[in-house]
Amino acid sequence: MTEMPLHEGGLAIGCRGQASVDSEAGEVFPNADCKSSCSLEEIARTLRRHIVTMIAAAGSGHPGGSLSAVEIVTVLFFRLMRHRSYDPNWKQRDHFILSKGHAAPLLYAALAESGYFPTKELITLRKIDSRLQGHTDRAMVPGVESTAGSLGQGLSFAIGVALACKLDSLDSRIYTLLGDGECDEGQIWEAAMAAPHYHLDNLTAIVDRNNQQIDGWTRDVMNTEPLGEKWHSFGWHVIEVDGHDIGQLLSAFEEAKQIKDKSSVIIAHTIKGKGVSFMENNLKFHGTAPTQEQLEIALRELA
Amino acid sequence: MTEMPLHEGGLAIGCRGQASVDSEAGEVFPNADCKSSCSLEEIARTLRRHIVTMIAAAGSGHPGGSLSAVEIVTVLFFRLMRHRSYDPNWKQRDHFILSKGHAAPLLYAALAESGYFPTKELITLRKIDSRLQGHTDRAMVPGVESTAGSLGQGLSFAIGVALACKLDSLDSRIYTLLGDGECDEGQIWEAAMAAPHYHLDNLTAIVDRNNQQIDGWTRDVMNTEPLGEKWHSFGWHVIEVDGHDIGQLLSAFEEAKQIKDKSSVIIAHTIKGKGVSFMENNLKFHGTAPTQEQLEIALRELA
Amino acid sequence: MPQEMSTRKAYGRALVELGEKNPDIVVLDADLSMSTMTHMFAQRFPHRFFDCGIAEQNMIGIAAGLAASGKIPFASTFAVFVPGRCFDQLRLSVAQSQLNVKIVATHGGITSGEDGFSHHAIEDLALICALPGFYVLVPTDAIETTQMVRTAAVTPAPFYIRLSRPSTPVIFDENYHFVLGKAVTLRQGNDAAIIAIGIMVSRALEAAKHLAQEGIECRVVSMPTIKPLDEEAILQSAKETGAIVTAEEHLKHGGLGSRVAQVVAQHYAIPMDFVAIEDTYARSGKAEELLQRYGLTAPAIEQAVKSAISRKQVHHS
Amino acid sequence: MPQEMSTRKAYGRALVELGEKNPDIVVLDADLSMSTMTHMFAQRFPHRFFDCGIAEQNMIGIAAGLAASGKIPFASTFAVFVPGRCFDQLRLSVAQSQLNVKIVATHGGITSGEDGFSHHAIEDLALICALPGFYVLVPTDAIETTQMVRTAAVTPAPFYIRLSRPSTPVIFDENYHFVLGKAVTLRQGNDAAIIAIGIMVSRALEAAKHLAQEGIECRVVSMPTIKPLDEEAILQSAKETGAIVTAEEHLKHGGLGSRVAQVVAQHYAIPMDFVAIEDTYARSGKAEELLQRYGLTAPAIEQAVKSAISRKQVHHS
Ligand SMILES: Cc1ncc(C[n+]2csc(CCOP(=O)(O)OP(=O)(O)O)c2C)c(N)n1
Ligand SMILES: Cc1ncc(C[n+]2csc(CCOP(=O)(O)OP(=O)(O)O)c2C)c(N)n1
Ligand SMILES: [Mg+2]
Ligand SMILES: [Mg+2]
């Protein structure tokens, strides 16, 4: 295994595994320290550095769709979600279900920075004896809630978790991150029909609306527009935001929390490959690792 | 095999296999005679009699969803569609693809009355050596375009046929009949997304909106409302009609023909079991054959 | 217990019994609860029953999420739709996720009859046995079904239990004890062994009776656990009888016969024959008519036994 | 022809060649055209190429409708998604509809490597062989792939052709002639037969070479048509060698080995062994690492051959 610089920002280190009580909300935010000790923007940049670094080390992987969803995941893991890195199966936790499993590097980065496992493990991504499988495996990595890689399955899984929380009278919130290309899958619409039918107001889906899938722009490959109207007609409360604007994301999640009796979807308009100039909107970097040279440029841009 | 009265109305007999040219449209309507020789209402009643009779003879089958779509199929087979019972694979024909395959008795009745095979064969439905399988088998029966029985597949198939017609520069129209419960299936929405994406204005889907599926009312089992909005948001031209009103159906199909560049869907509001008092809106008759006694009452009502 | 009962009816009852005892039992269906008999549970525990409508893929995903949260989901529909309509979901969200989901599929085989081939599940075992981690069970009768359902509920692993539509003979009495992974010898004999599942077990017994009249003594083994196979019982049969015939209401490919053949070939090669559906779809017809037409009968088993016996060691002389 | 080429690249080229000759050839993909190599056809014949987006079920239905209208559709995606994500569609809309649809699935087996188990197709043959009417093919190299694709295009029936991701050795020369349904004997020998498919063929040849050095002469048979099987070739191998080992990049269940075992058991029982993936999912890793880890190697074949030979007739003495 090559030794690679991991560019640990150290930003989130102070937060790891230390639960603190947000007295206002009366809720436990294990990562509440982040709110003061480091900005979400800084954390986002750290996650991006992890992503490009680990994919470069692996020699394969999916930078584009990992980078586009960084702010979404940052806001959830380092501000909004109740979770405990020292107790990943904590019954009262909020749940994050990654449906677009090829964004595994993003989730691994967020988990490592949250203290679920050492950030230096990130570099083992996709290597034969690593826990960090190319697509997430829930049985292997603490904090990974779902096994993914075949698209279209996460929302159904999230409904199951949301139903269980209701049955157990838990007020946990369930978040699931979907790709926009992934919304081609019929299973997404089966699930989209079911969630409001079951009145799952504890469920929020986020669509990473980066307008690209593998074969091209979504409007050319399989047009999903008007995407918001589709979700609306399936009974969802729809919120559209700039998915790189942390303020907009925070208030969107807050709005979703207030909606009762139905599920909410946040359509987060993003740029695939966001943060690395030559990866932005570049189809090639959906599923290609940066070379060592490209990595260095990327890290400079993300410094 | 029991000998059962088949109640051949004989109405459509005059039309069988005789192509005639509608000079106004310049199109070939093999069944154009029907327009003068017998009313569509009468044909509809004949089809209903066939349906209950053959299902009673079979001892199993699906009367409810066959009866609800009678007017839809009547209007298509005996007025609008270009087809030739003596040349089922006629290249220029319009296509009817039954997606909700459990309504096979309805299609068989329409085909028999159109002259594809003798009406007396209808009574062999579901019997071991019959061509008339419980759900349609395209390889067995002339005029049956698709094999069905597993729900959710007909619209995709219809897209394939519609694409082929476009490739071959045929101006054929493609019709496909879906159940409203069937719209739970994700594959329907995959196809719904694709048809307007491919600009298939030669394709018209009809949803038999009888508000019931097997386990109950659709709003209770899996709510599909607002159904029209869903199709609209998937890019379709949506027309809602009373599915038992022949006039409304005729003008809806005419409207669909005029729409360019996208596909049309007709949401036909119907009553499951329509025409037989004790079957109407009666869940039991989704998939139960009438007894001999019930058959007699039904036939009296349909006389 | 009556003389005849469908395995799906036994399932419906067992679910209610389990539901009373364990609040974590939840049940899912895909708009077929009247036929799968989950409606009995739905009526008794409406808040723990989820109808997913006609959306089998979503049903499996929801079941997986429930299992991940500590529930014990039983998900049912016809065997032709699960695994067939949701194989990838069973693969990723259940098998690869190692989740405690119980699939109970009814209307296995061709005895669903008149609905025709779209409703005949003749390949479900080939599919479900291709999912590492799944227990795959086919009960012989209603009594065994009840016990299987109880076993599944307390064994934390994915299960697939295949039931049938028609009423079938009750073979076991109340003292019978189903053991996961173990074959059951129903009749002794050393001329050949018939290994059967589901509705073919009673036909195997019938065949053995006829053959005994001709002086051929067959062992009859029921193999309620298709996966993992009771290899010991298979090899014992192989060694003690020298000829094995399998009988199942399934394609010859990928079911009981194919699994037994691999065990035998790898450990103790002896002649075999397969009573199963050849590479074809069946038509509409009454259950019994179809079983006749597609060769799933006692006489077919008898013939297969004779064929296997005739091949014993011939080519090794 | 270079020394190494991926079978999917050969497919991409063959499609373009076919497209030039026959205007009825149409191609479908599900957002993986860069990987399946259908993008070559898409670029040349944009109006005959349909990207279905990430909707495998719909893709199969559309292909069926196109076939019903006289087109010859080739539909491609990864082998893990077809048949797995659309089995019921392949069943009803293609197999039961008897339609002329060609499925060409790439990234078969575990050599898709680092993506991990969600992307490893280790059960596709178990599924696709459970569809009556389908021809199921696995080419040995790029040359054979081209010929298979041509054959599929002119044979009116459903086809499934399984390709792999990595570049693999080109074994045949341009004079090679693929015959549908026929096995190919690549090496003579009478101590045991190795029947292999896909990337395992070259490993089988390697194993045979090593074994010859130890005085064990193995026949090596490639079985490019998994369905229908060349039973004659199998039985000839059985009779002339008395021991068969199969080798495939697939689960032991439901693939080549299981199909050969049934033929052998039913007609000429001899000891066998199976080089295949045991009942487990593989992890992320480089293709070669995974083949090592999961026992798909020449040494594994050698060991299996010795095991099968050691069981020859022992228990019949
Ligand atoms: C069922 C399925 N089909 C195909 C693929 C292959 N695949 C992986 S990523 C991808 C494109 C995903 O696009 P999108 O959902 O928009 O993700 P993002 O743009 O965020 O990367 C495809 C087709 C898959 N993983 N699963
Ligand atoms: C994929 C699939 N799942 C389940 C079934 C069983 N089934 C047959 S009919 C039916 C209800 C159909 O309801 P709907 O589409 O509304 O038809 P209609 O009311 O017109 O009869 C169901 C669930 C099936 N045939 N196919
Ligand atoms: Mg995208
Ligand atoms: Mg309905």
Identify whether residues C155 and C195 lie together within a single domain.
Answer: no
Contact list, B186 vs chain A (CB under 8 Å): 185-190
Q: How far is CA D297 from CA A129, C69, D248, in A?
A: 19, 40, 10
Identify whether residues C216 and C159 lie together within a single domain.
Answer: no
Atom of ligand 1 nearest to the CA of D77: 4
Identify whether residues D194 and D88 lie together within a single domain.
Answer: no
Place of tokens 């690679």: A4
User: Region B271-298: what's the mean pLDDT?
Assistant: 98
D233 Cα to chain B: minimum distance (Å): 33
B19-301: CATH class = alpha beta
Identify whether residues D165 and D192 lie together within a single domain.
Answer: no
Rounded to the nearest angstrom, the distance between the alpha carbon of A201 and the centre of ligand 4 is: 28
Rounded to the nearest angstrom, the distance between the alpha carbon of C131 and the centre of ligand 3 is: 30
Q: Report H helices in chain C.
A: 7-21, 33-36, 39-44, 56-68, 87-89, 124-128, 142-154, 200-213, 231-241, 256-267, 287-293, 298-310
- Which chain D residue lies closest to B172 (C-alpha atoms)? D69
Q: Do the chains contact at C88 and D96, CB–CB below 8 Å?
A: no
A154 lines ligand 1 (CB under 6 A): no
Identify whether residues D108 and D222 lie together within a single domain.
Answer: no
Where b means 16+ CB within 10 Å and e means fewer, B127-155 reads bbebbbbbbbbbeebebbbbbbbbbbbbb
How far is the C-alpha of A209 from the C-alpha of A217, rounded, in Å?
11
Identify whether residues D258 and D143 lie together within a single domain.
Answer: no
Q: Is pLDDT of B13 > 80?
A: no
What would the pLDDT profile of C138-168 be if each residue is shown by its tens digit?
Answer: 999 999 999 999 999 999 999 999 999 999 9
What phi and psi values does residue C162 have, to the nearest 5 degrees?
Answer: -105, 120
**How is D246-286 classified by DSSP, letter by letter?**
EEEEEESTTSHHHHHHHHHHHH----EEEEEE-SS---S--
B182 lines ligand 2 (CB under 6 A): yes
For residue D31, is it within any domain? yes
> What pLDDT score does A37 carry?
59
Look at chain C and report how many structural domains it folds into.
2
Identify whether residues C162 and C189 lie together within a single domain.
Answer: no
Tokens of B68: 């609800």
Would you please indicate which residues of C are annotated as catalytic (active-site) residues? 56
Which residue among D169, D198, D232 closes a domain?
A: D169
What phi and psi values does residue C274 have, to the nearest 5 degrees?
Answer: -125, 120
Best residue of A214, A230, A286 to probe chain D, by most D CBs closer than 10 Å? A214
User: Region B82-110: what's the mean pLDDT?
Assistant: 98
Q: Please check whether residue A193 touches B, CB under 8 A.
A: yes
Contact list, B194 vs chain D (CB under 8 Å): 52-53, 55, 58, 62
What would the pLDDT profile of A93-110 be if each residue is shown by its tens digit?
Answer: 999 999 999 999 999 999
> Do strands D225-227 and A237-242 pair parallel, antiparallel, or not at all (unpaired)?
unpaired
A151 lines ligand 1 (CB under 6 A): yes
Query: In chain D, pLDDT over 90 holds for what percent of residues?
Result: 97
For residue D313, is it within any domain? no
Mutate to test the pocket of ligand 1, among A98, A99, A151 (most ligand atoms within 8 A of CB): A151
What phi and psi values does residue C168 have, to the nearest 5 degrees?
Answer: -135, 160
Asked if ipTM goes beyond 0.85, one says yes
Give the pLDDT band of residue C313 (cuts 50, 70, 90). confident
Give the pLDDT band of residue B59 (cuts 50, 70, 90). very high
User: Region C71-84: what's the mean pLDDT?
Assistant: 98
Identify whether residues D203 and D283 lie together within a single domain.
Answer: yes
Where b means 16+ CB within 10 Å and e means fewer, D217-226 reads ebbbbbbbbb
Q: Is pLDDT of B14 > 90?
A: no
* Neighbour tally for D123: CB within 10 Å: 28
> What pLDDT score does D313 carry?
77
> Do strands B27-29 and D159-162 pair parallel, antiparallel, or not at all (unpaired)?
unpaired
- Which chain D residue lies closest to C250 (C-alpha atoms)? D130
Which residue among D112, D142, D169 closes a domain?
A: D169
Amino acid at D33: S
Rounded to the nearest angstrom, the distance between the alpha carbon of B182 and the centre of ligand 2 is: 6
D contact chains, 3+ CB pairs < 8 A: A, B, C
Identify whether residues C42 and C165 lie together within a single domain.
Answer: yes
> What pLDDT score does A19 carry?
35
User: Region B242-249: what's the mean pLDDT?
Assistant: 98
Atom of ligand 2 nearest to the CA of B135: 25
By residue range, what is the domain housing residue C114?
Answer: 4-169
Query: From atom 6 of ligand 1, which residue's Cα is the shortest distance away?
Result: D32
What phi and psi values does residue C154 have, to the nearest 5 degrees?
Answer: -105, 5
Q: Is pLDDT of D115 > 70?
A: yes
By residue count, chain D amounts to: 317
Partner-chain residue, chosen from D58, D88, D98, that has the shortest CB–CB distance to B194: D58
Q: Name beta bridge partners: D187.
A: D220
For residue D178, is it within any domain? no
A222 lines ligand 1 (CB under 6 A): no
User: Region D3-16: what's the mean pLDDT?
Assistant: 97
How far is the C-alpha of C75 from the C-alpha of C99, rounded, in Å?
13
Q: Please check whether residue B147 touches D, CB under 8 A.
A: yes
Q: Report H helices in B60-145.
A: 63-67, 70-75, 104-113
pLDDT 10s per residue in chain A (303 long)? 333 332 233 333 333 333 333 433 334 444 544 444 579 999 999 999 999 999 999 999 999 999 999 999 999 999 999 999 999 999 999 999 999 999 999 999 999 999 999 999 999 999 999 999 999 999 999 999 999 999 999 999 999 999 999 999 999 999 999 999 999 999 999 999 999 999 999 999 999 999 999 999 999 999 999 999 999 999 999 999 999 999 999 999 999 999 999 999 999 999 999 999 999 999 999 999 999 999 999 999 999
> Poorest-confidence range of C180-194, C263-277, C302-316, D77-91?
C302-316
Identify whether residues D209 and D73 lie together within a single domain.
Answer: no
Identify whether residues C8 and C83 lie together within a single domain.
Answer: yes
Q: Is pLDDT of B4 > 70?
A: no
DSSP letter at C15?
A: H
Average pLDDT of chain C to the nearest whole number: 97
Contact list, C46 vs chain B (CB under 8 Å): none
For residue D175, is it within any domain? no
Q: Do the chains contact at A157 and C93, CB–CB below 8 Å?
A: yes
How far is the C-alpha of D272 from the C-alpha of D195, rounded, in Å?
11
Best residue of A150, A188, A283 to probe chain D, by most D CBs closer than 10 Å? A150
* Neighbour tally for B284: CB within 10 Å: 12
Contact list, A154 vs chain C (CB under 8 Å): 61
Which residue among D146, D169, D192 closes a domain?
A: D169
Contact (CB, 8 A) for D162 and D108: yes
Rounded to the nearest angstrom, the distance between the alpha carbon of B100 and the centre of ligand 2 is: 7
Identify whether residues D162 and D200 lie together within a single domain.
Answer: no
How far is the C-alpha of B22 from the C-alpha of B27, rounded, in Å?
6
Which residues of D lie closer than 8 Å to B, measured between beta carbons? 26, 47-48, 50, 52-53, 55, 57-71, 73, 88-89, 91-93, 96-98
For residue C157, is it within any domain? yes
Q: Domain ranges for chain A, please list them.
A: 19-301
> What pLDDT score does B37 carry?
58
For residue C196, is it within any domain? yes
Which one of the ligands is nearest to A178 CA?
Answer: 1
Query: From atom 11 of ligand 2, which residue's Cα is the shortest distance away?
Result: B213
Contact list, D66 vs chain B (CB under 8 Å): 160-161, 163-164
**How is C153-214 classified by DSSP, letter by letter?**
HHS-S-EEEE--SS-EE--S-TT----TT--EEEE--SSEEEEE-TTHHHHHHHHHHHHHHT
By residue count, chain A amounts to: 303
Q: Do the chains contact at B137 and C117, CB–CB below 8 Å?
A: yes
Where b means 16+ CB within 10 Å and e means fewer, A173-183 reads bbbbbbbbbbb
Q: Which of residues 104-143 of A touch C (CB under 8 A)?
A: 137-139
Grouping H, G, I as helix, E, B as strand and the rest as coil, residue C118 is: helix
The reply to whether omega before D156 is within 30° of 0 (cis) is no
Contact (CB, 8 A) for D57 and D86: yes
Mutate to test the pocket of ligand 1, among D28, D36, D54, D60 (most ligand atoms within 8 A of CB): D54
Q: Do the chains contact at B230 and A233, CB–CB below 8 Å?
A: yes
Q: What is the CATH number of the domain that holds D215?
A: 3.40.50.920
